[in-house]
Amino acid sequence: MSSTRTLIEAVTGGTRVIDLAQPMHSGMPTSPNHPGFRMSYLRRHGDVVRPDGASAANELIVTGGHVGTHTDALAHVSFEGYLHGGVSVEEAFQNGRFVSHGIDQFTPLVTRGIFLDIPVSRGLKILPAGYPIEVADLEVACEFAGLTIEPGDAVIIRTGWGQHFSGDHDAYLGQTHGVPGPTADAARWMAERGISVTGADSTAYEHIAAGKGHSVLPVHNVLLVEFGINIVEHMGLELASRESLTEFMFVLAPLNIVGGTGSPTRPIAVLGTEES
């Protein structure tokens, strides 16, 4: 049997998939720093009917690159005029678009994923608004999951904040009361362990204190600029929590948008079945 056939059977025959993305729809919560998502049907069934009786429907989608579950490109954030690797914005942005650091330069990723359920590891259903996830929280969650972060891992952090995504939009965005998320020290702790990518279920992969809004984003500086590690935001992690997800195969493939600073994405967790 060919190695390709063996791989196909391994993936399709003895596995299950957990979707780690939020659904995209008009009116979903969007960071105040980004344009929102809109979809409109331009043709509906019956508008045009072909001679054989068939008709088709289609839509127009208008969206920002950082809306819904999405991946931040390294072009998304600069610090003092420089992107990751000491490349100046002037050098990276030419002729009206990014010629380096764009999301089109992100290689689709298949790697080991680690799911750190911070509230569950602390005996909670959801973290409080504005809760700072420190190194100690990550260590407790790793111990709870029975895992150690290794080079190349994708580290997915659940705060529980995704429970507000389809309900209380004001709470989800946290402009008044804040949003739980990793601190810069926690981000650096993960980066120094060689992770490949990281994501969370909040509007920004940041600790946002009450009343601070999205005024400063130090974790983005650490991950995107200092270490060159992409970030996935607005993830849907409630099913993964109910399934007690810990270790899995992580698959991430943003859209190949040339020069894009980010892209909608649909990350998935692939697991073996109990029978396999």
The reported pTM is: 0.93
d(CA 151, CA 194): 4
What percent of the chain shows pLDDT beyond 70? 94
- Domain 16-23+65-272, classified CATH 3.30.1490.70, yes or no: no
227-240 pLDDT, tens digit each: 999 999 999 999 99
* C-alpha closest to that of 189 among 141, 253, 235: 141
128-172 pLDDT, tens digit each: 999 999 999 999 999 999 999 999 999 999 999 999 999 888 889
Q: How far is CA 47 from CA 41, 51, 132, 142, in A?
A: 11, 13, 53, 55
88-106 pLDDT, tens digit each: 999 999 999 999 999 999 9
| Domain map (residue ranges) of the chain | 16-23+65-272
d(CA 200, CA 210): 19
d(CA 78, CA 154): 23
Dihedral angle computed from the Cα positions of residues 174, 177, 183 and 186, in that order, rounded to the nearest 10 degrees: -90
